[in-house]
Amino acid sequence: MSARQTEQHTEELRIVGKRYIGRWISALLVALVLLAIANSMMNNPRFEWSVIAASFTEESILQGVLMTLKLTAISVILGFAGGTLLALMRLSANPVLVAVSWAYTWFFRGVPMLVQLFLWYNIAALYPTISLSLPWVGEIWSASANSLISPFSAAVIALVMHQSAYAAEIVRAGIQSVGNGQIEAARALGYRPAQIFRHTVLPQAMRAILPPAGNEVIGQLKTTAVVSVISLQDVLFSAQIIYQRTYEVIPLLLVATLWYLVMTSLLSIAQYYVERHFSRSSIRRKVKPESVKPKTPVAVYSMESGRTSNG
């Protein structure tokens, strides 16, 4: 076959993409199901979308949103601070610290959050008076437990202690993901233990800590809904107050649902950017060939000729 015939034969060939019939059929079925659900929701008068729109920015609902965000921020910050301390205790060589950290994590991960909340809210039944005493001095301070443990403080204590138990396991797994070679190298350079943790272990551990930590923050925001059982005005309790007065149960529950979706979506976006920031160092940047400079010539001295040449 001549070269001209080969070129003509090549021009006649066409690349035909593979047809995925099953993929298109499944996508069509899913689209039809979603369309049917959306049509049912929009045309069902029992959803009362006008009530949802009117109640979405009501003052009591917005106050509940702020309370939910406040509880989430306090419990996450203090919970991860305590969780980091518990993780370091668990990884220490001191058997007493290891046992205390393990027992704390075992207890607060094993008891449901709602039970913990009720225990702290009713702590006055066990300790009516909370006092501080010193040996040979006696009592220097005392107060009624009912005056100290309000619904807000009970919710904060329960959420922080619950969060710190889960955060401890997340931080511990992240620290253990850093190889021992990195720590030994930092020690060889003369770093102190605090410097090793701050400059070597923590930056590398953050890439393993952030994904589960982000999920834990979002889960903690939803967990704050349990505080409604002790009459603390979060989003859910605000919606309950309104529908107990207006009997519009479903629209107000949908208002709370939409607000939780908005808050969790914002947290998911923040998680994405934080993870991208800490994973920047692991992304390999492509270098253009024209940007690579040629190697600098090296002078080579020949022993036999006694001359110097460029190599």
C-alpha span between 182 and 109 (Å, rounded): 32
Number of residues in the chain: 311
| Segment 98-114 mean pLDDT | 94
Q: Which DSSP state fits 287?
A: -
Q: Is the pLDDT of residue 72 over 90?
A: yes
The token pair at 215 is 């999920």
String of DSSP letters for 108-135? HHHS-HHHHHHHHHTGGGT-SEEEEEET
Q: How confident is the model at residue 291 (pLDDT cuts 50, 70, 90)?
A: very low
Q: How confident is the model at residue 290 (pLDDT cuts 50, 70, 90)?
A: very low
pTM (two decimals): 0.77
SS3 of 158-214? HHHHHHHHHHHHHHHHHHHCCCHHHHHHHHHCCCCHHHHHHHHHHHHHHHHHHHHHH
* The pLDDT value given to residue 307: 52
C-alpha span between 64 and 61 (Å, rounded): 5
The token pair at 40 is 């049912």
C-alpha span between 121 and 137 (Å, rounded): 31
